[in-house]
């Protein structure tokens, strides 16, 4: 199972699919998002944002490790991936505000997105990953 996981994360399809999945979740109308259970907990949505954007940067970082062998270049890619994650989070907040019914702009979501993206990039840079 671990070998299959390693092969999957090193293929471009996996991080691309996760990015699309993340954008899809952020574009779901607010009336569809449950307000009970875990989603009813105050601040739970911020944990979800950290997870989605941190995972996004991790998956793209693991893919980059497979195709880039230069350590210095790879570290710069990790920084760019964090910036990409932060930018995607900002863009998605404006998309939610302007185009997604019953969703709104939330600066704390952007902060959670940035925390997830930066934490993943810091992890990738410090460990040069485990895969």
Domain ranges of the chain: 12-26+41-127
Backbone angles phi, psi at 26, to 5 degrees: -75, -15
pLDDT above 70 for 36: no
Report the pLDDT averaged over residues 32-59.
Answer: 86
pLDDT above 70 for 38: no
Residue 22 tokens read as 């993340």
Cβ atoms of residues 53 and 117 within 8 Å: yes
- C-alpha distances out from residue 92 to 23, 26, 64, 98, Å: 7, 7, 24, 10
Predicted confidence at residue 33, as pLDDT, reads 75
The pTM assigned to this predicted structure is 0.88
Report the pLDDT averaged over residues 24-53.
Answer: 85
Positive/negative CA dihedral, 100, 102, 107, 109: negative
Predicted confidence at residue 108, as pLDDT, reads 96
93-120 exposure pattern, b = at least 16 Cβ within 10 A, e = fewer: beebeeeeeebeeeeebbebbbbbbbbb
Distance CA 81, CA 56 (A): 9
Predicted confidence at residue 3, as pLDDT, reads 76
How many C-beta atoms lie closer than 10 Å to residue 89's C-beta? 24
With bands split at pLDDT 50, 70 and 90, how would you rate the model's confidence at 37? Answer: low
The SS3 call for residue 128 is coil
């Amino acid at each position: 199972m671990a070998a299959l996981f390693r092969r999957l994360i090193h293929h471009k399809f996996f991080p691309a699919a996760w990015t699309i999945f993340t954008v899809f979740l952020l574009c779901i109308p607010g009336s569809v998002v449950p307000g009970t259970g875990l989603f009813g907990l105050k601040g739970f949505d911020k944990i979800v944002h950290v997870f989605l954007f941190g995972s996004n940067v991790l998956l793209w970082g693991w893919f980059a490790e497979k195709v880039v062998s230069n350590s210095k270049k790879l570290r710069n890619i990790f920084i760019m991936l964090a910036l990409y994650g932060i930018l995607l989070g900002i863009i998605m907040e404006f998309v939610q505000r302007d185009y997604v019914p019953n969703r709104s702009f939330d600066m704390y979501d952007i902060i959670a997105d940035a925390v997830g993206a930066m934490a993943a990039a810091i992890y990738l840079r410090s460990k040069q990953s485990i895969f």
